[in-house]
Chains A and B, each alone.
Chain A
Amino acid sequence: MTSLIILSPLIGFALISLFLFRWKKLCGWISVGSLLIPFVLIVQLFMQMQSNPSSFPQVISVPWISIMGLHFELGLLFDQLSILMGLLVSGVGSLIFIFSMGYMEEDKGYSRFFAYLALFASAMLGIVFSNNFVQTFIFWELVGLASYLLIGFWFSKDSAADASKKAFLVNRVGDFGFILGILFLWFLSDPTGVSRTVDFAGLAQSIPTQVQLGVISSGAILLAGLLILCGVIGKSAQLPLHVWLPDAMEGPTPVSALIHAATMVAAGVYLLARTFFIFTISEELLTIVAIIGGLSAITAATMAVCQSDIKRVLAFSTMSQLGFMVLAMGLAGPVSGMYHLLTHGFFKALLFLGSGCIIHAVHTQNLFEMGGLSKKMPITTLTFLIGTLALCGLFPTSGFFSKEEILTLAHGHSMLAFIVVLGTTFLTSFYMGRVFSLTFLGPQRKPSDIHESPFILLFPLIVLSFFSIFAGFFGIPELLGRAAHESHHGTEGNFLALISTGVILFGLISSYLIYGRKTQSQDPLSKGLGPLYTLFERKYFIDEIYNFYVSKIQQPFARLCDITNEWIAIKALSHWTGIVVYQVGNVSRKLLTGNVQTYALILAVQIVVIFTLVVILFKL
């Protein structure tokens, strides 16, 4: 029964893409229904876990490949981590599916869209409930595939087609390391080769033991961890593999909300939490994780400040928040990281769906062409405001609690980490204030007939707003398995909360002062920051570096290979032999008429060659 969690959306996908694609409306409902089933099942499991915690974790599995010492399973692992993550994925997912029914109503590819969404849901739930590395990798790739299909949904647009290809390939680069890491861990799980495993449970037991026994060096663990981290960096859009995420905004907005904000990009962080037993072993490894997270958080925030496309601002903000989560993991706080992941899932989905409503109404994504929407779209404005405040982390929204955890962690760890978190917090509130001011406040810049969105679009916004505000009061850290008395909220916590609140208010107010009062057709920051602005806006020219690599190094190298191949294998090895024999054939054709004779000649030559060879062989 529980296997329906993964199978139900998969069946939905198959039904739509094989049989039902002609009936648009039905496809939408099937898709939504196929995700609601897992949602209900996961809620049920959650209830069970609450009433009877001792019976968890549970595992069910079936063998997938089982030959000659290689044993891979497809399984479902139910524990606190996976059930909470599953709730987020299926819950927020269902809301976004419903939103899509309204948002995509007039699109020609409606059925196709819902088929892809169902495929995505299945793959994502497959990662969440996976009990071993190989299964995670399989669904990891499938999620990448679904993301590729959805980003390139409007494939006739050059930009969308390019973005989808880029997303897939950049992720592939990360997965290159990921699969190597899996192979290495499999090897390390038992270097003698008797009982190797890719199971999380098995690895969690064997790896630390092997390290204690001194069979595995800490260098090996560091290497394995770094390789796994490659996958995380790719999927969670951390430096330096983040380049695909902003471009991924070419996909329809519900896709950006679901995949490129709330769920898929969080899979990397989830994987870190799932395999944290590896990362805790090595101090250096954690430090590297923290550095990557922190750097990504602050660089992404600077890039977000200078974007003029509303979805791109949100995309960079996602990257920056993911950086927070990775940072939390690196500071040895997996619970805090996961906590932020869950709350972020709510408010980032809310913000993206809100931006979807805005784009739906004003038909532009450029912030400087919007403005004054608050009067026309009151509910959207209110929900967007809630999302903004939650993202900034203002009390009492859910973002406040989870961000406070990370701030406390950073403060307890080092001054540098603390400054990074605080700086990012300031930038976050600044760019969110900027987005809010430019969109909803001030006069309307592009005169057109603008209406509030229909109920089917607003309903998910309202539900998500509720969670964005109140998710902080549900005791998520305790649900994730932290004992209640370990909470950080002491006097030090209050002090930190005060500082961050000050920073947030400062950011919000300063952005209001810059953007909220006057009509801006151009960003005033571009003058203020000068060349820095260009640097941020052009994303530190990282894309240019990659493009340079592809067009100036990789492609010429490929051509070099092609040319050398032409010379060695084709010209030298076969052309002249071909030409010689062809000429011989021509001559012999004059002697003997017809093709059959040519064969005969070739055969004769062949026989002679063979007999010579045989004679040589026997003599030797």
Chain B
Amino acid sequence: MIDLSFYFIAIPMASLALMALVPSSQLKLIKTIAWISSSACLALALFVLLKLDRTNTSFQFISQLSWIQTPEINLHLGVDGINVWLIVLTSLVSFAGLYACSSIQKDAKGFYLLYLLLTLGAYGTFLSVNLFFFFLFLEIEALVSYPLISNWGRGEKKFAAMQFTLYAILASAFVLVGLLGLYFLPAIQTMDMVQLGAHLQANPLSLALQHKLFAFFLIGFGILSAVWPFHAWGPIGYSSAPTAGSMLLAGVLKKVGAYGLIRFGLLMLPDAAALWMPWLALWIMMNLVYVGFIALAQKELRNLIGYSSSSHMGFVIIGLACFTSLGTAGAMLVMFSHGLLVALLFLIAELVERKMGTTQIDALGGLAINWPFTATCFSLAALAASSVPGFANFAGELVILFAVWNQYQWLTIGVLICVLLTAIYMFRAIRNIFFGPIKESHQNTEEPVKSLFCKVPFLLLIGFLLLIGFCPTLALKDFENGLTQLKIIEKGEELKTNSELI
């Protein structure tokens, strides 16, 4: 059975095959293939988004290709309310990321091959309904990043690549244990998430087992989401990776952690989650503030963005830690919007480096006068990050604030401190990079984004940030749908009697 969801895998696959056949001297053709593949996926994602049946809460556009009967390892893909926006996010970021690839000269063919493979991995992890394939795609992402960073990166790229891969593999090791547990421990053995979810709902595991499994998932996905102190791969990885890679890593891969935590931790092990969550909330609160302060001390643009994104993943996790559908929905909204804006910020950091040769904030200044478009885009992304209304981030954080207040009351202060810190370092960055008088030596720099074609990725990312910022209900309704399907909510309600939230 093949439906639309299959093509998210098939298109990059086919392009990979095609690209492999093209000799590496045909750079133009290779690029064209990459562009076509990404655009096709983007169009497909938007089409799926439009066509998703909002009255149906289960997986749709299901593709199922059986491979091995026992254990039933099938390529089983599907779209539901929980992953549909993440698919859109992946398609947007990978499309915009191609724009940052244009400066790659060395062995471009290899780069584009790996880039498409990384995209493929991201689509696969979000779409998989089968445990085995979820893990397989996760592993693809982890492993592909290694050559991507170590060959096409900058600075201490070998070290960063090794560190990143180690963390990612450590994470997937933990996740694998959790997944194996989920497969072997319940009464029925199935790799199918839907069946497994339904079964676990009816016959939950014993609390002791849930605890152990949840711990594995929490650590594994926590590392992927760069939760302190497992975040070290993040900022170093981002500043060393080629920009397109940083965009996918920070924009998409980081969200895989939170996504996995929702799918497996919250939905399948709710009893353990209910007990773990308050502690997680406390931990994340510290994470938010502490990493926020670290970001405040950064002097290099990429590091700043990296730490800011680590700190902002805290919004997502604290939303999950509320363990209510409200908090989870808010978290998912922030996942989407943060993915977009962090990709945008990295893209601009790339432009700055390409034109100015440095991303040290002190060495820059006054660029807005010559770079009106880029400055506007950066400011918009920074405003979105500082949760200014009108951008999707604000809506998500607002929902999270109410959810956190509902659950943990004054812990909300931590979230707000982080919002304040973000505003401080983001506005400082705008001020010091784009405003003020321009440096003598920079007087003749030209706007890096000139043609309409070059503006497309910027406009797309900003357009979606604004669209969801103005009408957050578009996305929130889908999240609500996806979450009712799996009914995690009751446990969360027991934490506090909030009957209105059902």
Contact = CB atoms under 8 A, between A and B. Distances in A.
Contacts of B356: none
Interface string B349-389: 00000000000000000101100000000000001000011
Given A65-B395, A187-B405, A617 B212 contact: yes
B152 to A, nearest CB: 14
A270 B399 CA distance: 26
A562 interface: yes
B428 A64 contact: no
Contacts of B231: 569
B268 to A, nearest CB: 16
B402 A569 contact: no
Interface string A575-599: 0011001100100000000010001
A568 B232 CA distance: 10
10 contacts: A65-B395, A69-B501, A70-B399, A141-B388, A142-B388, A156-B368, A172-B420, A569-B230, A585-B162, A610-B176
A581 B212 contact: no
Contacts of B228: 565, 569
A401 interface: no
B472 interface: yes
Interface residues of A, number: 69
Contact of A67 (B167, B177, B229, B326): B326
A175 B291 CA distance: 22
Given A162-B431, A168-B427, A569-B229, A67 B476 contact: yes
Interface in B141-177: 143, 146-147, 159, 162-163, 165-167, 169, 172-173, 176-177
B477 interface: yes
Interface in B428-468: 428, 430-431, 434-438
A212 interface: no
Contacts of A193: 406, 496-501
Interface residues of B, number: 83
Chain A contact surface mostly: helix
Contacts of B473: 63-67
Nearest to B501: A69
B389 A141 contact: yes
A531 B192 CA distance: 79
Interface centre among B184, B232, B325, B420 (most CB of A within 10 A): B232
Nearest to B162: A582
B298 interface: yes
Interface stretch (A354-362, A463-471, A551-559): A551-559
B416 interface: yes
A456 interface: no
A515 to B, nearest CB: 36
Contacts of A613: 173, 177, 216
B401 interface: yes
Contacts of B298: 562
Given A161-B435, A193-B500, A620-B212, A570 B169 contact: no
A20 interface: no
Contacts of A195: 500
When A and B form their complex, which 6 residue pairs have the shortest distance between CB atoms, in order from nearest? A161-B435, A69-B500, A558-B296, A562-B297, A558-B297, A561-B293
A582 B290 CA distance: 29
A180 interface: yes
Contacts of A137: 389
B416 A180 contact: yes
Given A169-B423, A614-B180, A183 B399 contact: no
B229 A573 contact: yes
Interface in B225-243: 228-233, 236
A68 B424 contact: no
B435 A138 contact: no
B285 interface: no
A195 B389 CA distance: 25
B177 A69 contact: no
A577 B412 CA distance: 35
B212 A554 contact: no
B229 to A, nearest CB: 4
Contact of B390 (A142, A558, A562, A582): A142
A557 B423 contact: no
A225 interface: no
A602 interface: yes
Contact of B233 (A156, A555, A574, A602): A574
A158 B398 CA distance: 33
Contacts of B166: 574, 577-578, 581
A165 B383 CA distance: 12
A614 B173 CA distance: 11
Contact of A168 (B236, B423, B438, B476): B423
Nearest to A582: B162
A614 B216 CA distance: 11
A570 B236 contact: yes
Contact of A155 (B389, B401, B435): B435
B434 A155 contact: yes
Nearest to A142: B389
B398 A156 contact: no
Contacts of B420: 172-173, 176
B20 interface: no
B480 interface: yes
A555 B177 contact: no
A195 B181 CA distance: 42
Nearest to B326: A68
Interface centre among B177, B394, B499 (most CB of A within 10 A): B177
Contacts of B294: 558, 561-562, 565
A504 B367 CA distance: 50
A176 B499 CA distance: 28
Interface in A54-89: 63-70, 72
A334 interface: no
A574 B232 contact: yes
Interface string A135-173: 001110110010000001001111001101100110011
Interface in A298-339: none
B500 A176 contact: no
A187 to B, nearest CB: 6
A179 interface: yes
Interface in A119-136: 134
A194 B180 contact: no
Given A573-B229, A578-B162, A617 B181 contact: yes
Nearest to A140: B389
B436 A161 contact: yes
Contacts of B104: none
B162 A157 contact: no
A246 to B, nearest CB: 19
A400 interface: no
Contacts of A69: 326, 498, 500-502
Given A561-B294, A562-B294, 9 more contacts: A67-B476, A142-B388, A165-B428, A168-B423, A168-B427, A169-B427, A573-B229, A573-B232, A599-B143
Contacts of A574: 163, 166-167, 232-233
A70 B147 contact: no
A609 interface: yes
A555 B296 contact: yes
B2 interface: no
Contacts of B409: 187
A599 B168 CA distance: 13
Contacts of B501: 68-69, 193
B121 to A, nearest CB: 15
Given A169-B424, A179-B416, A574-B232, A610 B500 contact: no
B176 A186 contact: no
A161 B326 contact: no
B402 A183 contact: yes
A606 interface: yes
A165 B159 contact: no
A116 to B, nearest CB: 12
B402 A186 contact: yes
A65 B498 contact: no
